[in-house]
Amino acid sequence: MSSPSARPATKAVIPVAGMGTRFLPATKAVPKELLPVVDRPALAYIVEEAARAGLPEVLMVTGRNKGAIEDFFDRTPELEAALEKKGDADRLAEVRASTDVAQVYFVRQGEARGLGHAVLQAAAFVGDEPFAVLLGDDLIDERDHLLEQMLAVQAEHGGSVIALLDVGRENIDKYGAVAVEPRPDAAAASGDEVVLVTGLVEKPPVDEAPSSLAIIGRYVLEPQIFAVLRETAPGRGDEIQLTDALATLVERGRPVHGVVFSGRRYDTGDRLDYLKAVIRLASERDDLGPPLRAWLHEFVADLPAEGASSS
């Protein structure tokens, strides 16, 4: 086991350069990371999560057609002046908070050559420290402190840490999958299980998957990942896969731990999960929740039985 890293992670990288094909045609003109979850872009929740976890410096890896993301995190003096003039203090505070939450930087990926390639664009920004990667379409409920737990595991054990979710064997071919060994001595503060990752494979056929544990969109990576990414050939889908680079780190004996998440997570790049996120988060809000819940009860009572299960 390597010695824990002397320096804790202070920077977050959010790749947002993907094409968002699952959400076409909406994503022809609007980046999927800006689709509103209630009244805030999915990406705003993710930047807030990074800041809450103690990572106030955020680099977004963007691409063509993603200019609106830079606009969202820029100041809007005209809008702020108009709200001030109208005396709309609440909305003014919300508009300001969305830009003040973190120091946001941007770099371009150039070509969408895969998540590993997107992460590689952050090398100069990150330097020689561990850092977090949060996928721009993967929303973790703010009551579940996944990233904080992962940062704590990284600070204690060094190496890299990935977030895992049991998606069931029948769904594993849509994800990166892992082989793991238990680490009963390393439970996370929340009680989420911590495991040692012994192998990784991107989107394996169901009958070849090493487990039903899928990699989800939070990583805390050691800076050694950049050297490995530089020599990682395009893999699945002809893209440079972060999963392949992590597999190389494991093969070279570097520690990679997994935190098996048991909380609430929404893939906002997936239409059904996106709808679930909007409904759940809106129904729990003080302002919208009471009328929405009342309407949902009526709506559900009138629905024909479908036999579909909910999650």
Residues that bind ligand UTP (CB under 6 A): 15-22, 61, 109, 112-115, 117-118, 135-137, 269
Beta carbon nearer to ligand UTP, 196 or 278: 278
Q: Annotate 109-176 with DSSP letters as a single string.
A: -SS---HHHHHHTTHHHH-SS-EEEE-TTEEE-TTS-HHHHHHHHHHHH-SEEEEEEE--GGGGGGSE
Q: d(Cα 70, Cα 60) in Å, to the nearest integer?
A: 9
- Taking the complex as a whole, the smallest distance from the CB of residue 273 to ligand UTP amounts, in Å, to 11
- Taking the complex as a whole, the smallest distance from the CB of residue 36 to ligand UTP amounts, in Å, to 17
Beta carbon nearer to ligand UTP, 119 or 188: 119
Q: d(Cα 306, Cα 308) in Å, to the nearest integer?
A: 5
**In Å, what is the CA distance from 5 to each residue of 11, 164, 209, 288, 305?**
15, 22, 31, 44, 54
- Taking the complex as a whole, the smallest distance from the CB of residue 200 to ligand UTP amounts, in Å, to 16
Q: d(Cα 135, Cα 147) in Å, to the nearest integer?
A: 12
Beta carbon nearer to ligand UTP, 255 or 266: 266
At what angle are helices 42-52 and 146-157 packed, to 10 degrees? Answer: 40
Q: d(Cα 124, Cα 117) in Å, to the nearest integer?
A: 14
Alpha helices in 158-234 (DSSP H): 224-230
Beta carbon nearer to ligand UTP, 156 or 238: 238
- Taking the complex as a whole, the smallest distance from the CB of residue 14 to ligand UTP amounts, in Å, to 7
Beta carbon nearer to ligand UTP, 17 or 147: 17
- Taking the complex as a whole, the smallest distance from the CB of residue 57 to ligand UTP amounts, in Å, to 18
Beta carbon nearer to ligand UTP, 63 or 255: 63
In this structure, what token pair is assigned to residue 152? 């704590």
- Taking the complex as a whole, the smallest distance from the CB of residue 175 to ligand UTP amounts, in Å, to 10
Beta carbon nearer to ligand UTP, 196 or 247: 247
Amino acid at 249: L
The DSSP 8-state label assigned to residue 234 in this structure reads: P
- Taking the complex as a whole, the smallest distance from the CB of residue 248 to ligand UTP amounts, in Å, to 19
Please say whether the beta carbons of 102 and 46 come within 8 A: no
For 108, phi then psi, to 5°, come to: -100, 140
Query: Closest residue (Cβ) to ligand UTP?
Result: 18
